[in-house]
């Protein structure tokens, strides 16, 4: 069984989104555990905002792709089914 890393540019499933978010939260927690200052907190807030916007884009892309595939399947279906 091959394991695929989460894709940032072309997310295909919600596991991609979950993987990126989990990695971002781990990085944020690690950075805040090592260095804790007002500038670092601001940078982490900006980083998490970017991740939040990416999640919205990724979910929208996944749902649009799913909708396209559904339409293609309906066109291929024979009329008697």
- Quickly list DSSP for 14-77: HHHHHHHHHHHHHHHHHHHHH---HHHHHHHHHHHHHHHHHHHHHHHHHHHHHHHHHHHHHHHS
Per-residue pLDDT tens over the stretch 40-49:
989 999 999 9
The sign one gets for the Cα dihedral 13, 51, 49, 27 is positive
Quote the CA–CA distance of 9 and 29 in Å, as a whole number. 24
Quote the CA–CA distance of 16 and 19 in Å, as a whole number. 5
Per-residue pLDDT tens over the stretch 21-47:
999 999 999 998 998 888 998 999 999
Per-residue pLDDT tens over the stretch 44-76:
999 999 999 999 999 999 999 988 888 877 777
- Any idea where the domains of the chain sit in the sequence? 14-73
């Amino acid at each position: 069984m091959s394991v695929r890393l989460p894709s940032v540019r072309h997310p295909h499933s919600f596991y991609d989104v979950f993987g990126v978010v989990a990695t971002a939260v781990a990085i944020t927690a690690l950075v805040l555990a090592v260095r804790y200052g007002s500038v670092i907190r601001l940078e982490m807030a900006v980083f998490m905002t970017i991740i939040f916007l990416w999640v919205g884009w990724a979910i929208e892309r996944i749902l649009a792709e799913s909708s396209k595939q559904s339409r293609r399947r309906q066109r291929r279906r024979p009329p008697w089914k």
